[in-house]
Structure 1
Amino acid sequence: MPHLSELRIRDPFILRFEGKLLLFGTTDDDPWGGRGLGFDRYESIDGEDWAGPFPAFRPPADFWGRTQFWAPEVHLYRDRWWMFATFADGSGGRGTQVLAAESPDGAFQPWSIGPVTPDGWMCLDGTLHVDEAGEPWLVFCHEWLQAGDGRIYAQRLSADLTRSEGDPHLLFAASDAPWARPFRNTDTGYETSAYITDGPYLFRDADGLAMVWSSGGDGGYSVGLARSASGHVLGPWRHQDRPIVDSDGGHAMVFEADGGLALAFHQPNDVPRERLRVTALLADHDGYRLGDAARVAAAGPSADARVLP
């Protein structure tokens, strides 16, 4: 049973279910170019020692995704469990697919009619957001490889989560955040600066609707916070001046831990040294800042900050 410090995982996602903590994430040995094998799940009582891995998704033979199985998130919506995850077809197509299961500790199966991100777009890290009217939205990244300045969009979904509806709405570009920094990567064909967008995750707190997301900062891979001025997913979105995580760690999610909010993310960012980090998320005059390591036990309220009043 691996300890927290030994567990290799990218893009972690934690929830509580029936007295257990369930942990999902990017778990393939070669998440960049290897054949996609699926997603695994780990389980814990104390948040320190994790049993597993247990299979959470294995692609059927005719599944369109072939590689880059990334960032599974598991959400409860309309009394069923849904996994939102990134897949690539190996020939330049990449997007978010919806999977379904009767229980979060069961086997997920493809549900949506292919990707629910826009056709022809190179997308990743789609997350489910249900607005105050009960309408489902996909919030996702349009990759810098195609957009240059990576962007985050919101897209309406059908009530049954089988397809997208209408046009995507631009929420913001990575360069809009004062802490985000560009990079140059001629190996991928970009000779000019580009900005990363990764890992949006929305949650509600006492001040309204907020989002954590990742980009490059002064210290490398970083996590920032944006807040919707309207309280609705369409914003407008305003950015915290400084990142929450500012040194070689990212793709975060927020949940309710013992005594307050916690941030789960992976750090460092290089393969194969990624490890799960869980730290307290503390409010201050500028929004949020990172605290010490958080205690997370399986007993308690649902590990999902979106249930907060």
Structure 2
Amino acid sequence: MKNLLFLLFWSVTTLAQQIPIEANGFVEVEAEDYIEQSKTEKRRWEKITLQSSNNHALSAGKNTYLECLPDTRVTHDDKLINGENFSNKAGEMAVLSYKVNFTTTGRFYVWVRAYSTGSEDNGLHVGIDNQWVESGQRMQWCEGKNVWTWASKQRTEKNHCGEPFKIYLDIDKTGEHLIQFSMREDGFEFDKFILTTDKNFNPNETLKRSQIYIRDPFIYADESTKTYFMYSSANKSEHLPDAVNGVVVYRSKDLENWSKPRYIFKTPQNWWPSEKHGVWAPEVHFYKGKYYVFATFTHPDKSLTAKNPSAKTAMRGTAILVSDSLTGPFKPLSEIPQTPGDWMALDGTLFIEKGKPYMVFCHEWIQTIDGTMEMVALTEDLSKPKAKPRTLFKATNATWVKKLENVKAWNTDGYITDGPWFYRTKSGKLLMLWSSFGDKGYAVGVAESATGKLSGKWIQKERLFEKDGGHAMIFKTFEGQLILTLHQPNSGDIRARFFEITEENNSLKLGKMLEFK
């Protein structure tokens, strides 16, 4: 009865989950998101979480995986019992079924992320629509012991450790299909699977853009190497299981296939911010032969005064880092932020006007209630400000901006200014993209300088993007196409979104979104 209740519970809860949708020849699915488990008389898949004992959930996707239990054949010396702790016949034991909605037909190569500790827990079968085709039998892992490892190899008489490109499923029509996995060896630990039409894709070396959780994505297109560099805060994930706070970079040749993250900066101890707080909105600029990171740092234990005395403030500012290379390492230019020390300031960006450097940044709404956009002149080496900041505009200057009411985390309400980014039109008009909240959520607004100069006056225009996405920037591909990137949604499963963008009549027009591949 206990087993029956377990299966009933899982079938009810998983049916309520959203069916994964394949798009452009790629889909990734968590192992625990199955819709049905069958043939469990002798073995079944159990969900392992952080609350379970003696497990590998900490480095698994969403800190959860499945294990085929009980595990009675741990070493080669343990007795092999066909049909109990081993099954070379696909679809015979412990079958998991997943619904996947396919929009593409063709040959999909199957990758599975598994944790193998020995030689007797490293086999699995895959099938489709209750058909257990030869190309889905005997998935095999030999490399990557005692660590989560992606593999897509088939065990053969020629190679017991598996041959690549032999594990695949052929999808002959679009719509919903059942993707199924069955036990080959008990004790198998199963984290997630990928189906891809890209024969050369290898998730051990490459990440799809759809796999990367990222806020405030920043792209630097390096013409000399024809490489795109995407900068991000260091977020703890399966790709950075032991993440510390800092800045990482991903590299790509095509904007869709990215290298795994590499640190360019780790927040040190005994600097002005806390190394225990995350870094926000890093961006990289080339200036006078060197590369500079502008990023937001915080010390949550150091409070500041605010217009609302009840507001929960924290020391926050933009600091500038320097390196000779796009991949670092970067080091701080100063022991203090380049924004005022008694301001909650964030999202600094570099602007050059007539050869002189300026930083444009936001004075945060938590401290001011009505957030502002500020400019400050920097010294030639960018190490410190030359004068006091000057206000360019307030959040409420834009009629589309809505007030955030009673934000519990900060014990105040207010109007947000975020993420300034500049674009100069062909005729010389100066536009600023920036973000706040409107009637449809986080959004990207446009402001225009009436004089074409940084000092303005700034005139607020209509929103460029209005539904649950923002902190935008613009770059040009190596083929000459302007691309706007932002993060969307603003909470939850956040990804970098790319849109074609064009200049028309001295304004920017958003084009089609580049779909995940």
Scaled by the length of structure 2, the TM-score of the pair is 0.53
- Whether the 8 Å contact between 1:179 and 1:217 is mirrored in structure 2 is yes
Match in the other structure for 1:307: none
Q: Distance in 2 between matches of 1:104 and 1:29?
A: 22
Match in the other structure for 2:299: 89
Match in the other structure for 2:269: 61
| AA partner of residue 270 (structure 1) | S
Give the secondary structure class of the aligned counterpart of 1:175: helix
Q: Distance in 1 between matches of 2:347 and 2:487?
A: 15
- Whether the 8 Å contact between 2:376 and 2:387 is mirrored in structure 1 is yes
Q: Distance in 2 between matches of 1:43 and 1:115?
A: 28
Structure 2: gaps spanning 5 or more residues: 1-205, 238-242, 302-313
Match in the other structure for 2:357: 136
Q: Deviations over 1:98-145 (max 9, x none)?
A: 1000011221111134101112100110001111x1110010000010
Pairs within 5 Å for 1:206-285: 206-207=426-427, 208-240=429-461, 242-257=462-477, 258-271=479-492, 273-284=493-504
Give the secondary structure class of the aligned counterpart of 1:145: helix
Give the secondary structure class of the aligned counterpart of 1:167: coil
Q: Deviations over 1:146-177 (max 9, x none)?
A: 01011000011111111111111100001111
Pairs within 5 Å for 1:138-157: 138-157=359-378
Larger RCO (CA under 8 A, 6+ residues apart): 1
- Whether the 8 Å contact between 2:234 and 2:244 is mirrored in structure 1 is no
Match in the other structure for 1:303: none
1:36 and 1:165, CA in 2 relative to 1: closer, same or farther beyond 3 A? Answer: farther
Match in the other structure for 1:24: 231
Give the secondary structure class of the aligned counterpart of 2:272: coil
Q: Distance in 2 between matches of 1:183 and 1:60?
A: 33
Q: Does 1:203 align with 2:413?
A: no
Q: Distance in 1 between matches of 2:378 and 2:255?
A: 33
Q: Distance in 2 between matches of 1:65 and 1:288?
A: 37
Q: Does 1:2 align with 2:207?
A: yes
Which is higher, the Rg of structure 1 or of structure 2? 2
- Whether the 8 Å contact between 2:221 and 2:228 is mirrored in structure 1 is yes
Match in the other structure for 2:326: 104
- Whether the 8 Å contact between 1:279 and 1:291 is mirrored in structure 2 is yes
Q: Does 1:51 align with 2:254?
A: no
- Measured on the aligned residues, the alpha-carbon RMSD in Å equals 1.9
- Whether the 8 Å contact between 1:280 and 1:294 is mirrored in structure 2 is yes
Moved more, 285-294 or 14-23: 285-294
Match in the other structure for 2:283: 73
Q: Distance in 2 between matches of 1:265 and 1:29?
A: 20
Structure 1: gaps spanning 5 or more residues: 296-309
Instruction: Report the number of matched residues.
Output: 286
| AA partner of residue 160 (structure 1) | D
How big is the shift at 1:59?
2.1
Pairs within 5 Å for 1:27-38: 27-29=234-236, 37-38=245-246
Q: Deviations over 1:242-283 (max 9, x none)?
A: 211111101110112345321111001114x11011101234
Give the secondary structure class of the aligned counterpart of 1:10: coil
Moved more, 21-30 or 211-220: 21-30
**Greater strand share, structure number:** 1
Q: Distance in 1 between matches of 2:378 and 2:455?
A: 14
How big is the shift at 1:63?
2.1
Moved more, 202-211 or 152-161: 202-211
| AA partner of residue 282 (structure 2) | P
Q: Distance in 1 between matches of 2:244 and 2:346?
A: 15
Identity %: 38
